[in-house]
Amino acid sequence: MDKIKEMEKIERKLLKLKKSPLYSERILNKAFPVIGEGSLDSKIMFVGEAPGKKEAQTGKPFCGASGKVLDELLASIKLDRKKVYVTNIVKDRPTDNRDPSKEEIEIYGPFLDKQIEIIQPKIIATLGRYSAEYIMKKFSLEEKIEPIGKMHGKVFQSKLGIKIIPLLHPAVVLYNSYSRDDLKLDFKILNKFK
């Protein structure tokens, strides 16, 4: 499989995804869908929720305030961002940074599924509760789903051999619900799998 070509196919489809309720706003704001970024041969794939304003302006995932926190967390375990793949479930910015809706997750989910098929990561580290729930369900781990406050930092083995590690969303640091040290502690788990 030519991974670059397969990823470009996804990009072309996303660019004309008129059935998405977020499409017209993307066009109106001259914004971009945020497909994902990083190595297509990554062992570790990070899956966030949806792009924020800066991400939609640039087409790059986690390049705003949450991205700065993510970069710090990666640096704390000396994990080079270029060696992992970073994406989101929802690829367009939800209006005013609201949470992604069920419909949006349903529309964009298959694009993430295809990305997982292309990259074939060993570890999927989810960032935040939406991606945790989506990925746990996708890998038949729904009975293990707990509130993210309980589930974060645990390692779940899926039948397909991929390990799922739900992590807190980096933005929780910005809302002061958790400290950087709390998140760094969870990130240490990834050290084993680098």
* CB of 65 vs ligand URA, minimal distance in Å: 8
147 vs 161, beta carbon nearer ligand URA: 147
In the sheet with 123-127, reading across from the earlier edge strand, the strands are 37-38, 85-88, 44-48, 123-127, 163-167, 156-157
Per CB under 6 A, which region of 17-25, 49-57, 115-123, 143-151 contacts ligand URA?
Answer: 49-57
**Could you tell me which residues come within 8 angstroms of residue 190 by beta carbon, excluding any fewer than 6 positions away?**
44, 77, 79, 123, 125, 165
The residue within the footprint of ligand URA, chosen from 33, 36, 38, 52 (CB under 6 A), is 52
Decide if residue 62 touches ligand URA (CB under 6 A).
yes
Minimal CB distance to ligand URA: which residue?
Answer: 48
Residues 109 and 98: their CA atoms lie apart, in Å, by 18
Decide: is 166 part of the binding site for ligand URA (CB under 6 A). Answer: no
Give the per-residue contact string, 63-102, with ligand URA (x = CB under 6 A; - = no).
---x---------------------x--------------
Is residue 49 part of the contact set for ligand URA (CB under 6 A)? yes
- For residue 36, state whether it binds ligand URA (rule: CB under 6 A): no
Element spanning 56, H or E? helix 53-58
- Segment contacting ligand URA (CB under 6 A): 7-15, 20-28, 43-51, 154-162? 43-51
**61 scored as a contact of ligand URA (CB under 6 A):** yes
Q: Residue 78 Cβ, how far from ligand URA at the closest point, in Å?
A: 22
Q: Are strands 156-157 and 163-167 parallel, antiparallel or unpaired?
A: antiparallel
Pairwise CA distance, residues 15 & 13, whole Å:
5
Whole-angstrom distance, CA of residue 39 vs CA of residue 63: 17
For residue 144, the Cα-to-chain-centroid distance in whole angstroms is: 20
As a whole number of angstroms, the distance between CA 48 and CA 89 comes to 6
Binding positions for ligand URA, rule: CB under 6 A = 34, 48-52, 55, 61-62, 66, 88, 127
